[in-house]
Structure 1
Amino acid sequence: MEFEVETSNRVAIVDITDTVSEAVSDSADTCTVFVPHTTAGVVVNENERLLRSDFKTLLSRLVPRGDDYGHDQLDGNADAHLRAMILGEHVIVPVEDGELALGTWQSVLFVDCDGPRTRRVVVR
């Protein structure tokens, strides 16, 4: 299954758990969520407003925008690429009885580091 995620900010965190859950087969042992982009990633964590804000702050502190990166000479978005490298392009979630086996507060979160854009997410 593939689906699109639209973002409206440069750095955006979108809960995609429900859409990913729809793709899970009853016979599956695991579910892989893959983001085929070099300036976006996916993580599993709590979908809480203040935590999402803290995470955006952390990304900007770890990899500040306009910090004289070489790649900025090409596209001006080196920070987005570097942030995506930290996040990773996929997560693997166990499946039990046809359901994502996430912890109580866990969600699958898509993180766009170079929006606003329309992005693809692949679920297998």
Structure 2
Amino acid sequence: MKVYVEEFQISTRSREEIVVISEQVEKAVEKSGVKNGIALIYVPHATAIITANENEPRLKEDILNKVRALFPRGAGYRHDEIDDNANAHLANIFLGFHLVMPVVNGELRRGTWQEIMLIEMDGPRRRNVVVIVVGE
């Protein structure tokens, strides 16, 4: 069994934004040499999210608007007394900071419209993304 680990950085430009990272993840899977297995895509940050969905501008706007509605800034969270980013922490907990996808025949197995996305909730920042590919 092979285990391959790669880490790359993404610079975000806004307080909240969606950045597509599919290409970087696919390159890591290719470099891994794993033919069949799984890829874990993980963001080691408490205020960012990893997910997969369609990279359509209006949908990305809808996603950000829904996340803002579910986790509004300045809603009286206790943590805001320290950092003013409690909503970003809550979004990370409930929406997720990792994603697992299959690797089949040496390629990341995504759905037709699925792109891997980092959702920034407390930017702008430099975010690390860790990709771990395990398999044969």
Q: With structure 1 as the length reference, what TM-score do the two structures score?
A: 0.97
What is the Cα deviation at residue 83 of structure 1?
1.1
Q: Partner of 1:43 in structure 2?
A: 51
**Structure 1 equivalent of residue 76 of structure 2:** 68
Partner residue of 1:26?
33
| Structure 1 unpaired stretches of 5+ | none
The corresponding residue for 1:115 is 123
Kindly state the Cα deviation for residue 122 of structure 1 after the two structures are TM-superposed.
Answer: 0.2
Give the alignment's TM-score, normalised by structure 2.
Answer: 0.88
Residue deviations 1:61-96, cap 9 Å, x none? 111100000100111110111111122110001011
**Which range moved further: 17-26 or 49-58?**
17-26
2-11 vs 78-87, which moves further: 78-87
Amino acid at match of 1:4: Q
Do 1:33 and 1:91's aligned partners in 2 also have CA atoms closer than 8 Å? Answer: yes
CA distance in structure 2 between the partners assigned to 1:116 and 1:109 by the alignment: 16
Measured in 1, the distance between the counterparts of 2:10 and 2:50 equals 12
Distance 1:60 1:23 in 2: 31
| Structure 1 runs, 4 residues or longer, greater than 4 Å off | none
> Which one of the candidate residues 37, 60, 67 is aligned to 1:52?
60
SS in 2 for 1:23: helix
Residue 98 of structure 1 aligns with which residue? 106
Identity among equivalent positions (%) equals: 44
Q: 1:12 aligns with which of 17, 27, 39?
A: 17
SS at match of 2:33: coil
Matched residue type, 1:26: G
The number of residues matched between the two structures is 124
Shift of 1:26: 3.3
| Structure 2 unpaired stretches of 5+ | 1-5
